[in-house]
Structure 1
């Protein structure tokens, strides 16, 4: 028998040992991601803690500490769906969004009340599809709530794969009004993104606005004075 004869059992054993060594040398990449997802739930933890204080009508330190404990138990046992937060917040744009939202609520309330009294059943309604730029579940949810809380519009369906909101809207008599509402809905999404959105979503908003401004400046109807009307109302 030759001494150099290959032993397959020895080769398999060495290959198995090397694979074990390779797998043991690789770091557990899922653990940091899980920890990041856990710490990203601080907004939910804060909301549950404040809810606990509101239920007890007491926001003393002892009650809040107990609320943190109860909130941690809720997050641990009930395993709420993971909501990824961007860990980015712009307080100035949060204020801008709040003021803008309250202004739209007040003006829409007056407009809906006037139309209900003056026009009554003659109001023309429509279902408007608004395709959002962001695919983040939090941004889509907040945008939908912000639009639904304004009188005159109500979210009736959401197409999650395409981030499309379907809204039932009052007083939509022409395509111009539909496009105006769609533009306002996208402005609401942009306001949410500027306040708490990710940098990627913020870049989408800036690119979209830049493309819109370029299209407006290149439109002959808005940039060429030859297409405008003179003081006498005649085209020149």
Structure 2
């Protein structure tokens, strides 16, 4: 009888330090999203965000996702500054679209496969995209690490490709800020996957 092939050992349980670190990362991300949604950095919003984060983590406990990376201060600062710039530029573009008379903006649904397929990277990239005006996450496929994004003001396939590359560059900035060495290597060595459109600009 042929012996069964060896199976991978189960993931070891998280240590107390790892669980504490994961909770801190989850609370920090939830508070940041809460403050960004309100649009004002104040003690009231920070405290209320902490309360909301505590309630969410208590009522809807997250699965034990291991945070394998570490915080890199300088890339994190670059990510924050570029994110704020994207917010300003996208807001101005949407305002200009609203003021243009007789112009009907076209849109597209774009599938972008991320190069680092982890729950944390998928969530952070989707949240960052959703907070920028003009793009909306329709679906996230965990099995393939693919985001399906509705994008407004897309007039050509060249602009579709430009947006898709922008998503992958956003992923690269997130991985540079909090990713592990292996995740950063995968982003550097990974080629841009081919574009996958759910429909041409309409």
Task: Tell me, yes or no, whether TM beats 0.5.
Answer: yes
- Pair 1:115–1:81, CA change in 2 (3 A): same
Structure 1 residues 53-72: aligned runs within 5 Å? none
Instruction: Give the Cα separation in 1 of the matches to 2:86 and 2:182.
Output: 27
Verify: 1:185 aligned to 2:167, yes or no.
yes
Instruction: Give the Cα separation in 1 of the matches to 2:78 and 2:127.
Output: 17
Verify: 1:169 aligned to 2:151, yes or no.
yes
- Pair 1:145–1:56, CA change in 2 (3 A): closer
- Pair 1:77–1:146, CA change in 2 (3 A): closer
Higher relative contact order (CA 8 A, sep 6+): 2
1:201 aligned residue: 183
Verify: 1:84 aligned to 2:55, yes or no.
no
1:135 aligned residue: 117
2:197 aligned residue: none
Equivalent of 2:97 in 111, 115, 134? 115
Q: Contact 2:107–2:153 at 8 Å: present in 1 too?
A: yes
- Pair 1:110–1:133, CA change in 2 (3 A): same
TM-score by length of 1: 0.61
> What is the CA RMSD across the aligned residues, in angstroms?
3.4
Structure 1 residue runs without a partner (length 5+): 1-28, 59-63, 213-236
**Deviation per CA, 1:120-150, whole angstroms, max 9, x where unpaired?**
5511111011110011101110001111111
TM-score by length of 2: 0.70
Verify: 1:41 aligned to 2:41, yes or no.
no
Instruction: Give the Cα separation in 1 of the matches to 2:141 and 2:93.
Output: 29
Structure 2 residue runs without a partner (length 5+): 1-8, 35-42, 193-202
- Pair 1:207–1:55, CA change in 2 (3 A): closer
- Pair 1:157–1:199, CA change in 2 (3 A): same
Query: How far 1:118 moved relative to its partner?
Result: 1.3
Instruction: Give the Cα separation in 1 of the matches to 2:149 and 2:22.
Output: 30
More deviation, 106-115/75-84:
75-84
How many positions carry a matched residue from both structures? 169
- Pair 1:35–1:190, CA change in 2 (3 A): same
1:217 aligned residue: none
Query: How far 1:38 moved relative to its partner?
Result: 2.2
Which structure has the highest strand share of the two?
2
Query: How far 1:199 moved relative to its partner?
Result: 1.7
